[in-house]
């Protein structure tokens, strides 16, 4: 990470885990156990139904609440969906967009990812844009091209000014929930590729100021070395964010690095 130019951000992605009562208990303990110094921002990405409770418990804390998905239209006949305006109205600050599980299980394409980013920004939400290659793509040696394509497509029509509100998360699909972490060098290299793409699209200032997280089996043991990479500005943490002590250890590591 490079705190001189950009924020360090640690986000927990709970996916489809935890009930409302579990959320309240976790959030309460988390906010009372944070490091004193505020060298990293903290976000909890909770299921839709837990958002109100999480926001209530965390309202006087420095932990922001995020949604894990959003629809691209502002309203209408889309049974089962939730709009960006609805989330913003609840006090949600961030939203995950393009997570590989959404791409894989819910047919989320790059076109929809782009529409969702626009919708989120329009409503005042900050997107956390997730990109990453599959094992097959890595083995074919097309990771850089693929990541560049995902970034360019997701950010099509997004201005340099809007980029100030966007976080990018590099999550190799083969490392998510598998216990296989990218090596610090692999993570650093792809985060560097992402920054180079941003530089081409928006210039050096925007590229330097954008927070790029790594996600994929980040845990208390490997967090420090991953975060020591100059282009890795935080983590998007799945499994290890479900255990309070694991999540806290990662937050402390990010605070210290
Ligand atoms: P993981 O998930 O930490 O369990 O690999 C990361 C994510 O999918 O955001």
Instruction: Please give the average per-residue pLDDT across 109-123, as a whole number.
Output: 98
The residue nearest atom 1 of ligand 1, judged by CA position, is 238
Ligand 1 midpoint to CA 10 (Å)? 12
Give the per-residue pLDDT at 177.
85
What is the tally of structural domains in the chain?
A: 1
Q: How far is the CA of 249 from the centre of ligand 1 (A)?
A: 16
CATH number for the domain that contains residue 68: 3.20.20.70
- Residue keyed to tokens 């999480």: 54
Please state, rounded to an integer, the average pLDDT across all residues of the chain: 96
**What does the pLDDT read at residue 141?**
96
Distance, CA of 97 to CA of 74 (rounded, Å): 16
Q: Measured over all CA atoms, what is the biggest interatomic distance in the chain, rounded to whole angstroms?
A: 48
pLDDT at residue 24 in the model:
98
Q: Does the pLDDT at position 78 exceed 90?
A: yes
**pLDDT per residue as tens digits for the range 164-197:** 999 999 999 999 988 888 899 999 999 999 999 9
Q: What is the pTM of this model?
A: 0.97
Rounded to whole angstroms, how far apart are CA atoms 70 and 40? 25
- Overall average pLDDT of the 37-62 stretch: 95
For residue 1, being part of any structural domain is answered with no
Residue 217 Cα to ligand 1 midpoint, Å, equals 6
SS3 237: strand
- What's phi and psi for 140, nearest 5 deg? -80, -5
Please indicate, yes or no, if residue 4 is contained in any of the structural domains. Answer: no
Q: Note the pLDDT of residue 36.
A: 86
Which range of residues forms the domain containing residue 216?
9-254
Torsion of CA 81, 47, 227, 3, to 10 degrees: 70
Q: Which of 47, 174, 187, 236 to mutate to test the pocket of ligand 1 (most atoms within 8 A of CB)?
A: 236
Cα distance between residue 205 and residue 202, in whole Å: 8
Query: Which of 131, 171, 174, 179 has most ligand 1 atoms within 8 Å of CB, for mutation?
Result: 171
pLDDT digits (tens, 9 = 90+) for 191-249: 999 999 999 999 999 999 999 999 999 999 999 999 999 999 999 999 999 999 999 99
Query: Would residue 2 count as lying in a domain?
Result: no
Does ligand 1 have an atom closer than 6 angstroms to the CB of 237?
yes
The answer on pLDDT for 257 being more than 80 is no
CA distance 155 to 151: 6
- Nearest alpha carbon to residue 93 among 134, 136, 61, 131: 61
Q: Is residue 235 part of a domain?
A: yes
E strand spans, 46-111: 63-67, 94-97
């Amino acid at each position: 990470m490079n705190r001189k130019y950009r924020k360090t951000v640690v986000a927990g992605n709970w996916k489809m885990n935890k009930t409302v009562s579990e959320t309240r208990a976790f959030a309460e303990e988390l906010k009372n156990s944070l490091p004193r110094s505020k060298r990293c921002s903290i976000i909890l990405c909770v299921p839709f139904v837990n958002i109100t409770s999480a926001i209530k418990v965390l309202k006087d804390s420095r932990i922001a609440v995020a949604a894990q998905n959003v629809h691209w239209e502002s309203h209408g006949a889309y049974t089962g969906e939730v709009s960006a305006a609805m989330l913003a109205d609840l006090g949600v600050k961030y939203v995950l967009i393009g997570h590989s599980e959404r791409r894989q299980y819910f047919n989320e394409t790059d076109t929809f990812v782009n529409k969702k980013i626009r919708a989120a920004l329009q409503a005042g939400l900050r997107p956390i844009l997730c990109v990453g290659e599959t094992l097959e793509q890595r083995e074919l040696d097309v990771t850089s091209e693929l990541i560049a394509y995902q970034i360019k497509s997701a950010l099509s029509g997004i201005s340099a000014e809007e980029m100030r509100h966007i976080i990018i998360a590099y999550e190799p699909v083969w490392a998510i929930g598998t216990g296989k972490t990218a090596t610090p060098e692999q993570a650093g290299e792809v985060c560097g590729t992402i920054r180079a793409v941003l530089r081409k699209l928006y210039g050096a200032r925007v590229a330097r100021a954008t927070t790029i997280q790594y996600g994929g089996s980040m845990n208390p043991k490997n967090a420090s070395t991953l975060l020591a990479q100059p282009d890795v500005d935080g983590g998007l943490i799945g499994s290890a964010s479900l255990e309070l002590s694991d999540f806290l250890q990662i937050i402390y590591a990010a605070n210290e690095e």
